[in-house]
Amino acid sequence: MKLYHAWLSSASRRVRLTLAEKNIEYESIPLDLSAGDQHKPEYVAINPYGVVPTLQLDDGRVIYEASFICEYLDDKVPEPRLRPTDPYQLAKTRIFMRFIDERMLPHLIVLNWSIGLQPMASKWSDQQLEERLANIPTPERREAWSRIARNPYTDEEKSQALAGLLTLVDMVDDMLASSPWVIDGQFSIADIAALVFVTRAEELAPALVQKRPRVVAWLKSIRERPSYAKAKITSFVGGAAARVEKRKL
Amino acid sequence: MKLYHAWLSSASRRVRLTLAEKNIEYESIPLDLSAGDQHKPEYVAINPYGVVPTLQLDDGRVIYEASFICEYLDDKVPEPRLRPTDPYQLAKTRIFMRFIDERMLPHLIVLNWSIGLQPMASKWSDQQLEERLANIPTPERREAWSRIARNPYTDEEKSQALAGLLTLVDMVDDMLASSPWVIDGQFSIADIAALVFVTRAEELAPALVQKRPRVVAWLKSIRERPSYAKAKITSFVGGAAARVEKRKL
């Protein structure tokens, strides 16, 4: 199978971690998001939202939406199981992952895009911007790119986004009070989803994360798993990400 | 178990149909959405988004998000199975339900709320409105209630919403070209989700739906199932909904 992804994308990181946990071999196809690879017609043909990641099976069929790619991998390759078997805990896993998708991901757009994409997008001519926007298939992403190119997120918006992201740290801390993992009973794709976001919170507000010993221990235990190195969760800080091998779509 | 729901809510209808398909007995607790039952602190304590439906188990634990309540019911009571077993088809089921949740439900807010809620909300004093908004836990729903009370959706917005909803009718039509059900192989919670939205599209634009014989046949076959009568999918048209038994939270 092939994974179309981006090294710094939170959703891509979740899928890379899940693939690594399950020891599934795949062809890595990193997209250059600043070049707009994800909006090219040949990519939108396999991912109608024009976002990463997309998993493409050997017969050409595709699966998108990180949460559902992770569930697919767990359905397809049952061992090691990465979701609870109890129906209620399984529902909690899904509800928590959707909370992250719907309520936390928008904060990361505000916090991350200014770093990686704004320096380049702000230099586009009006015509270049118009061409870029015309290729973006969803209104919310057109709006986000338009903001990045012409009307960057303000310090107030960034600080609200950080405050929003930090609510997840508190939530994870609460969840870890009764279990070593966010969903009772076992390490799951919910831990993987949360890890990616808490990792970014830690980069942005290290002191606040360090104050929560349960969260610190949980982060450490996940980072010691062999999957973590394999999935290449490179830091946003210090430009390490730029050194990861890139390949054009 | 108890189901907190509303008779006309699309998400509630999906869960009632799923419960009926599985012959699961439950206590029905209909909320009065115009009275703001769903924003009362005792309800927000079980559903942090302040929306219907919520399924409450006999031990008090709760599950929300219609798609995941339906998956829970299918995990908990395996027969009759309402999701494919093939991992790829299962992923398709989930991707399609999320498309409906994220991309179609906002159209129904524009199309439906003006009917049931605006006549009452428009009469609120500024202070009443402020009190109502203060109880609503999510920004997108605060915005929707604020629109309904003071700045009703325009005809242009309504016609865009209808156009958006009708894209689902075309999508369902395409899906039915190769299978009697929207996801290959079997009647599923994806059909249930789609039915609820296509039913509303049919009420709003009957001629456009009637032009698609596959969709008409699919609607008919679902409506002939015993679950349909049991789930009380009353019409928005003609005020029939108002006659359904109501009970206060």
The DSSP H or E segment spanning A220 is helix A213-223
Express as a percent the part of chain A with pLDDT over 70. 95
In Å, how far are B32, B49, B145, B171 from B121, measured between CA atoms?
13, 20, 8, 34
Q: Angle at which helices B189-204 and B105-116 pack, to 10 degrees?
A: 50
Q: What is the pLDDT of residue A215?
A: 98
Is A88 in contact with B64 (Cβ distance < 8 A)? no
User: A149 phi and psi, to 5 degrees?
Assistant: -80, -35
Residue A199 has pLDDT above 80, yes or no: yes
- Give the pLDDT band of residue B235 (cuts 50, 70, 90): confident
- pLDDT tens digits, one per residue of B38-82: 999 999 999 999 999 999 999 999 999 999 999 999 999 999 999
In Å, how far are A35, A246, B4, B187 from A30, measured between CA atoms?
12, 6, 45, 37
In sequence order, the β-bridge partners of residue A198 are: none
The token duo for B177 is: 């070209």
User: A84 phi and psi, to 5 degrees?
Assistant: -65, 155
Is B71 in contact with A94 (Cβ distance < 8 A)? yes
Could you give the CA distance from residue B172 to residue B195 in angstroms, rounded to a whole number?
9
Residue B142 has pLDDT above 60, yes or no: yes
Could you give the CA distance from residue A12 to residue A32 in angstroms, rounded to a whole number?
13
Is the ipTM above a cut-off of 0.85? yes
Q: What is the pLDDT of residue B113?
A: 86
Q: For residue B102, what is the nearest residue in chain A, using CA coordinates?
A: A102
Taken in order A52, B186, A84, A61, the sign of the CA dihedral is negative
What is the pairing mode between strands A2-5 and B62-64? unpaired
- Give the pLDDT band of residue B27 (cuts 50, 70, 90): very high
User: B64 phi and psi, to 5 degrees?
Assistant: -130, 180
Q: Which of A71, A87, A92 sits opposite B94 (nearest CB)?
A: A71
Q: What is the pLDDT of residue B115?
A: 83
Nearest one of B129, B200, B138 to B169, comparing CA atoms: B200
* Mean per-residue pLDDT of chain B: 93
Is B91 in contact with A72 (Cβ distance < 8 A)? yes
Contact A124/A132 with Cβ under 8 angstroms? yes
Q: What is the pLDDT of residue A238?
A: 53
Instruction: Give the residue-averaged pLDDT of B196-221.
Output: 97
Q: Which of B65, B76, B95 sits opposite A98 (nearest CB)?
A: B65
Is A57 in contact with B90 (Cβ distance < 8 A)? no
Contact B83/B90 with Cβ under 8 angstroms? yes
Q: What is the pLDDT of residue B1?
A: 97
Residue A115 has pLDDT above 80, yes or no: yes
Residue A133 has pLDDT above 70, yes or no: yes
Cβ contacts (< 8 Å) between A63 and chain B: which residues?
A: 88, 91-92, 95
Q: What is the pLDDT of residue A245?
A: 41
Q: What is the pLDDT of residue B241?
A: 43
Instruction: Give the residue-averaged pLDDT of A210-214.
Output: 97
Q: What is the pLDDT of residue B159?
A: 95
The DSSP H or E segment spanning B197 is helix B189-204
User: Which is more confidently placed, A84 or A235?
Assistant: A84
Q: What is the pLDDT of residue A241?
A: 43
Q: How far is A94 from chain B (nearest CA, A)?
A: 7
- Longest alpha-carbon distance in chain B: 55
Residue A243 has pLDDT above 60, yes or no: no
Is B98 in contact with A69 (Cβ distance < 8 A)? no
Angle, CA of A222, A15 and A92, to the nearest 5°: 70
CB contacts < 8 A (A, B): 55
Chain B: which residues have CB within 8 Å of chain A? 57, 61, 63-65, 67-69, 71-72, 75-76, 87-88, 90-92, 94-95, 98, 102
Q: How far is B63 from chain A (nearest CA, A)?
A: 7
Contact A30/A6 with Cβ under 8 angstroms? yes
Residue A239 has pLDDT above 80, yes or no: no
Cβ contacts (< 8 Å) between A92 and chain B: which residues?
A: 63
The token duo for B162 is: 């209808």
Q: Which of B90, B95, B102 sits opposite A64 (nearest CB)?
A: B95
Residue A191 has pLDDT above 70, yes or no: yes
Q: What is the pLDDT of residue A240?
A: 41
Q: What is the pLDDT of residue A244?
A: 42
- Give the pLDDT band of residue B117 (cuts 50, 70, 90): confident
- Give the pLDDT band of residue B249 (cuts 50, 70, 90): very low
Contact B22/B71 with Cβ under 8 angstroms? no
Provide the Cα torsion A205, A207, A212, A214; round to 10°.
80
Cα B105 vs. chain centroid, distance in angstroms?
8
Instruction: Give the residue-averaged pLDDT of B202-222.
Output: 97
Q: What is the pLDDT of residue B192?
A: 98
The total of other beta-carbon atoms located within 10 Å of residue B29's CB is 18
Quote the strand ranges of chain B, DSSP E.
2-5, 27-30, 54-56, 62-64
Is A94 in contact with B69 (Cβ distance < 8 A)? no
Q: For residue B84, what is the nearest residue in chain A, using CA coordinates?
A: A75
Cβ contacts (< 8 Å) between B72 and chain A: which residues?
A: 87-88, 90-91
